[in-house]
Chains A and B, each alone.
Chain A
Amino acid sequence: MGEVRFGQAINKALDESLANDPSVVVFGEDIARPGGPFGVTRGLQDKHGELRVRDTPISEATIVSAAVGAAMSGLKPVVEIMFMDFMTIAMDGLVNQAAKARFMFGGQCSVPMVLRTPHGGGVNAGPQHSQCLEAWCAHIPGLKVVIPSNPGDAYGLLKAAIADPDPVIFVENKALYAAKGQMDDDAPALEIGKAHIARPGADVTVVTYGAAVNTALRAADTLAESGTQLEVIDLRSIQPWDEATVLASLSRTHRLVVLHEAVTAFGVGAEIAARMADVGFDELDAPIVRVGAPFMPVPFAASLETQYMPDTDDLIAAVHKVLA
């Protein structure tokens, strides 16, 4: 297949899953006839029919809870919530129903559903269309949270998410939709919970995920010019997350920075830092530093949002701090 865009990779994973498994259904707001707000689901209804690929009304709570009920009744629904911010309306279905059904019914059922949703700023979409709320989901026992950083991973992780028997939140950074990347025709599904070392390096480990992986890779290029080698770990999945790979890297570099676009406070980075301070304490030659957004809603004005978003400069400053 060669070079594909992020959205095309997701479309391919959905298309193949619909073709290969009659229990897969896809529904969400404007995903069928209009093809999705970002064009990701274009063509799926024409190809797989109105029974299995559907536009829903603007009813996020019912979209998600209906997916749960359908998953408990033999389907594998892949639903879309148009912006991750809108997931707030659907939290009962996710948190009280999907996440708990298997456990609270004593293992009688699984809830094999996927919720696809875009997060992230950088497109001046304002406070209610830009949030990164993945830590909310990762905090709930029973949910899995997957966040790809490139087209090939998006394809492989979505295939894995659809095949997974449990509810998976599949988070797509809006800034990545137009990104291009290499993908083989026979690209395999990826294992949820396995991180990928996006760039090996000996000096400082940077743990990140999603679009922030690209920020880290750019910072690594810059720092390499002055002789500092970053090891960039793309988590791919934050619940479960690959503690072993992070610890192994820390054991080589002895310095750790965690980077994400979400606000720093109480975020994914806090969990990773806390775990590494525990199991990796003896390996640490410097305090762990977190890089994320400041504790405020995402501002609208381009000039403000630029300052809000964690960037390569922020990461480079953090790297200098752990090397000081």
Chain B
Amino acid sequence: MTSNSRKRLLGFYERMLLVRECELKLSALFSDGEVPGFIHLSVGQEAVAIGVMDALNDADTIASNHRGHGHAIAKGVDLDGFFLEIMGKQEGICGGRGGSMHVADMSVGMLGANGIVGAGIPLAVGSALAHQVQQNNNIAVAFFGDGALAEGVLHESFNLASLWKLPILFLCENNGWSEFSPASLQFVAEVRDLASAFKIPSRQVDGNDVASVADAADEIVADMRKNGGPRVLECMTKRVHGHFEGDPQKYRDPDDLASVGDIDPIARCEAELKKLKTTAKDIDAIRGRVADRISAAADAGRAGTLPSFDHLLSDVYTPVQGV
């Protein structure tokens, strides 16, 4: 291992920790009644968002899903605006109109989380079409879970992307659970079989090993920029929290839940870093920075103002002057 790989891993560690601690903070805020509605956490899946986004530029676009906090943070959404949004404040990145399931930041190519399973996939196809027509060498990434494999638009999207050789990475975050049901009871095929049927090159990686995800994403994205066309990357991971926060997960085998700690991507990364002579002091420094950043964002969230109803009608349509 070179010092470069240690540095890279330190960066992944800090970014994964940021996602993890943000979500744990949101969970606490949710329990305290400071986050309205309901939220879906990606605890345990952070390596996917961080590893994939390592390969992307700001001008690349992503479409996310309901479990999209990690994608948004990894793509570079402003953290204060993110907390403000999820806490339903005027200064939130979407003015408090969207909340957790609709966080978007067009300035960093984050086309939105989505409340409809699978709906982000054809949006990303359209974004990839825009990249292709504009010949800008950017790519689009569609993040979806294994639960979206049964949605019709996924099959349509695989076909259209392959037919038109669109620069889209279909990123399946396979956490084994479709809401409250195990993948085994939901879908008879594997995403690689679908990819093969639609003539899209695919790979599967350990989605809880951030370096593996990043290596795969870097190679795939470089190949896409050079040669065009769609790709499929399946990241095998595990959902730790419930489908939504507050879901007691009574449908899950206690052994399955107990074992998720063994493969935790952040603990694994930390163990790897220790092998590379990273000291406890280094780790503590990172933990301190992350905690400070999140504390500031949560404070910003609390300090935000409640959105005014008066301006709502002005954003249903775009104001137009003449024709």
Interface string of B90-125 (1 = CB under 8 A from A): 001111111000101111000110111001001111
The residue in chain A whose Cβ has the minimal distance to the Cβ of B93 is A106
B94, B127, B131, B133: which contacts A108 (Cβ < 8 A)?
Answer: B94
The residue in chain A whose Cβ has the minimal distance to the Cβ of B128 is A69
Once A62-B125, A97-B119, A165-B318 are accepted as A-B contacts, the answer to whether A105 and B130 lie under 8 Å apart by CB is no
Q: Is the CB of A142 within 8 A of B317?
A: yes
> Which residues of A have CB within 8 Å of B159?
57, 59
Q: Is the CB of A160 within 8 A of B323?
A: yes
Q: Is the CB of B133 within 8 A of A97?
A: no
Could you tell me which residues of chain B, from 289 to 322, have a CB within 8 Å of some CB in chain A? 312, 314-318, 320, 322
The residue in chain A whose Cβ has the minimal distance to the Cβ of B166 is A66
Is the CB of A104 closer than 8 A to any CB of chain B? yes
Q: Is the CB of B104 within 8 A of A71?
A: no
Could you tell me which residues of chain B, from 188 to 218, have a CB within 8 Å of some CB in chain A? none
Could you tell me which residues of chain B, from 118 to 155, have a CB within 8 Å of some CB in chain A? 119, 122-134, 140, 152-153
Q: Is the CB of A163 within 8 A of B123?
A: no
Once A108-B106, A160-B323 are accepted as A-B contacts, the answer to whether A61 and B111 lie under 8 Å apart by CB is no
* Cα distance, A75 to B136, chains bound together (Å): 13
Once A74-B134, A109-B106 are accepted as A-B contacts, the answer to whether A69 and B318 lie under 8 Å apart by CB is no
> Which residues of B have CB within 8 Å of A15?
none
Is the CB of A103 closer than 8 A to any CB of chain B? yes
> Which residues of A have CB within 8 Å of B128?
69
Q: How far is the CB of B148 from chain A (nearest CB, A)?
A: 13
> Which residues of B have CB within 8 Å of A65?
119, 122-123, 125-126, 153
> Which residues of A have CB within 8 Å of B320?
164-165
Is the CB of B156 closer than 8 A to any CB of chain A? yes
B116, B122, B131, B315: which contacts A106 (Cβ < 8 A)?
Answer: B315
* Cα distance, A57 to B161, chains bound together (Å): 11
The residue in chain A whose Cβ has the minimal distance to the Cβ of B160 is A62
Once A73-B131, A92-B116, A165-B318 are accepted as A-B contacts, the answer to whether A66 and B125 lie under 8 Å apart by CB is yes
A25, A57, A73: which contacts B127 (Cβ < 8 A)?
Answer: A73
Q: Is the CB of B127 within 8 A of A106?
A: no
Is the CB of A67 closer than 8 A to any CB of chain B? yes
> Which residues of A have CB within 8 Å of B61?
73
Is the CB of B86 closer than 8 A to any CB of chain A? no
Is the CB of B269 closer than 8 A to any CB of chain A? no
Is the CB of B220 closer than 8 A to any CB of chain A? no
Chain A interface, number of residues (Cβ within 8 angstroms): 47
> Which residues of B have CB within 8 Å of A72?
106, 111, 123, 126-127
Is the CB of B164 closer than 8 A to any CB of chain A? yes
> Which residues of A have CB within 8 Å of B122?
61-62, 65-66, 68-69, 93
Q: Pick from A30-38, A48-56, A282-290 the stretch touching chain B.
A: A48-56
* Cα distance, A322 to B140, chains bound together (Å): 58
The residue in chain A whose Cβ has the minimal distance to the Cβ of B319 is A165
* Cα distance, A59 to B159, chains bound together (Å): 9
Is the CB of A221 closer than 8 A to any CB of chain B? no
Once A66-B126, A142-B317 are accepted as A-B contacts, the answer to whether A108 and B116 lie under 8 Å apart by CB is no
Could you tell me which residues of chain A, from 87 to 125, have a CB within 8 Å of some CB in chain B? 92-93, 96-97, 101-110
Bin chain B's interface residue count: 35 or more
Interface string of B214-258 (1 = CB under 8 A from A): 000000000000000000000000000000000000000000000
Is the CB of A273 closer than 8 A to any CB of chain B? no
Is the CB of A134 closer than 8 A to any CB of chain B? no
A70, A104, A166: which contacts B126 (Cβ < 8 A)?
Answer: A70
* Cα distance, A69 to B122, chains bound together (Å): 7
Is the CB of A189 closer than 8 A to any CB of chain B? yes
Q: Is the CB of A108 within 8 A of B126?
A: no
Q: Is the CB of A59 within 8 A of B156?
A: yes
* Cα distance, A51 to B130, chains bound together (Å): 10
Is the CB of A236 closer than 8 A to any CB of chain B? no
Q: Is the CB of A104 within 8 A of B111?
A: no
Interface string of B14-28 (1 = CB under 8 A from A): 000000000000000
Is the CB of B157 closer than 8 A to any CB of chain A? yes
Q: Is the CB of B94 within 8 A of A105?
A: yes
Interface string of A175-206 (1 = CB under 8 A from B): 00000000000000111100000000000000
Once A69-B129, A72-B127, A109-B106 are accepted as A-B contacts, the answer to whether A92 and B119 lie under 8 Å apart by CB is yes
Q: Is the CB of A75 within 8 A of B130?
A: yes
Is the CB of A127 closer than 8 A to any CB of chain B? no
Once A73-B61, A73-B127 are accepted as A-B contacts, the answer to whether A104 and B119 lie under 8 Å apart by CB is no
Instruction: Give A contacts to B, CB under 8 Å.
Output: 25, 51-52, 54, 56-57, 59, 61-62, 65-75, 77, 92-93, 96-97, 101-110, 141-142, 144, 160, 163-166, 189-192
The list of the 10 closest CB pairs from A to B, nearest first, reads A69-B126, A106-B95, A65-B122, A73-B130, A66-B126, A69-B123, A106-B94, A70-B126, A59-B156, A62-B156
Known: A72-B127, A92-B116; 18 extra A-B contacts, CB below 8 A, are A59-B160, A61-B122, A61-B156, A62-B153, A65-B122, A68-B123, A69-B126, A69-B129, A70-B133, A73-B111, A73-B126, A73-B127, A96-B116, A102-B315, A103-B316, A108-B94, A108-B104, A109-B106
